[in-house]
Amino acid sequence: MKKASLLVVDDDPLIVESLAYALGEDHDVVHAMDRESAVRELRKGWRPDLALIDLGLPPVAHLPNEGFKLIGDLLAHAPGVRILVLTGQNEESNARRARALGAVELVPKPCDPNYLRTVLARALATPSPDRPDDDGQARRIIGESPPILKLRSQIDLYATSAFPALIEGESGSGKERVAWSLHHLSPRARHPFLALNCAAISPSLVEPTLFGYAKGAFTGAQTARTGYFEDAGDGTLFLDEIGELPVDLQAKLLRVLENGEYQRVGETQTRVSGARIVAATNRDLRAAVREGRFRADLFHRLSVFTLQVPPLRELGEDKLRLLDYYVPLVAIKSGTQPIVLDGGARARWLGYEFPGNVRELRNVLIRLTAKFGGHTVGEAELEAELAPVAPGAASNDDPAAKARAELASGRPFSLDAALKAVEAAYLDAAIEVAQGNMSQAAKLLGVSRSTLYSRLEAAGRAGAKLGSPDPGEGRQP
């Protein structure tokens, strides 16, 4: 039987070597010491079945930020990967945040190899929340809130057009579903719908993947191949994460958008594509244009029509509609009976912000179904699966509105705990911005170094002194 592929990412070489040795018999293991190395492996076209990652990675290993970013990188390159997070003591909040972003399992350190094999096998057997749905009905846009009604109205209005469309929205909010709806409701529905994630492919392979190539065009091109533009025919070509498209290829894409013309790599013959281009991004392309990382003319071509996919936190009662919609689907895929949320759990579900959007919602349901299939889930069981969000963490939120919502929710509240969470968030942010330089972090916060250290200690940020040494200083013990 083919071994499951496993990516192990940890900055401790002893842990990496031990895990590779212990798991190598049952898995094809590739290991990396930091996020950059892991992404480099993914860009080679390798798609792991499983990933076992530590959150604290260089260059600021005492903070979880690089690990959180790596979860996003993994899901962008390999949407079907099952991500397991290695956690130490006092990291429950970070671990739950990781689950909100897409991790399926938590593994405490140190871990017994036999236990780890069991956890990996269980994760591999878990339905992938990002696996494409089997039927078109399952891809419809669920919801009756004003933002969703507006989105569906835009889809109906733009679907029949041949002009490009740009879909903007946060990670996990359902941009591909919107693209598929644009295709399904158009006269192109009987033609192919092809999707390419521009972040999930090596920059050197983007051009031949999009345009195809002639025999002998480059080393390894033993036969001629068609590209996505050719294979899409008169259908729809969905380019996800369009902001990751290399700058040198943006001009070639612009040419296709202007007149449909392109050439296979290694050919001089001009071909014409009849496909409609729908692009999506979770980045601010306008800022990328201002910074010179994205062509202004390409942006204007792509955004003839622009659709904004709302984050789940803005959809109100739609959170419950999505809950009721996905519960039976997850149960069927899991091969068990559906769960039922009691009144308290449904109220908590409605009040939760879902920072990971619909992807997180499905992940939570998959975990709850695996644990409580056929049973009723209470608020306590649900709470254990939700990511704690520090008050004020979302910079675009109205602090007064957040406070009113928190106090009106009926959940236990502590002002001291809320203020400590805000302080901890600023401490972590300052150290990250300063790349571990504690003197610079103190300046950013407007406090002395000694005050910074005392506040870090009071906030339970053990190990914070192990950041990058300041100029002229030795490393802190």
DSSP string, 139-163: GSPP--SHHHHHHHHHHHHHTT--S
CA-based nearest residue to 129, from 103, 107, 106:
103
Ramachandran sector of residue 147 (left: φ over 0; alpha: ψ -120 to 50; beta: rest)? alpha
Q: What is the CA radius of gyration of the chain?
A: 24
**Contact indicator for 431, 442 with CB cutoff of 8 Å:** no
Per-residue pLDDT at 376: 95
Per-residue pLDDT at 464: 45
**Contact indicator for 346, 300 with CB cutoff of 8 Å:** no
Per-residue pLDDT at 396: 41
Per-residue pLDDT at 472: 40
CA-based nearest residue to 192, from 77, 274, 254:
274
DSSP secondary structure code for residue 4 in this structure: E
Report residues of the chain scoring pLDDT below 70: 1, 88-92, 127-139, 388-413, 435, 460-477
**Contact indicator for 237, 209 with CB cutoff of 8 Å:** no
DSSP secondary structure code for residue 11 in this structure: S
Q: In b/e form, how buried is each residue of 302-338, taking b as 16+ CB within 10 angstroms?
A: bbebebebbbbbebbebbebbbebbbeebbebbeeeb
Which amino acid type is present at position 124? L
At 414, phi and psi to the nearest 5? Answer: -130, 120
| Count of beta carbons in the 10 Å neighbourhood of residue 96 | 20
Secondary structure (3-state) at 313: helix
Per-residue pLDDT at 415: 81
What's the whole-model pTM score?
Answer: 0.64
Per-residue pLDDT at 92: 66
List, in order, residues 6 or more apart from 378 with CB less than 8 Å away: 342, 344, 345
CA-based nearest residue to 403, from 387, 424, 422, 425:
422
**Contact indicator for 9, 30 with CB cutoff of 8 Å:** no
Per-residue pLDDT at 131: 46
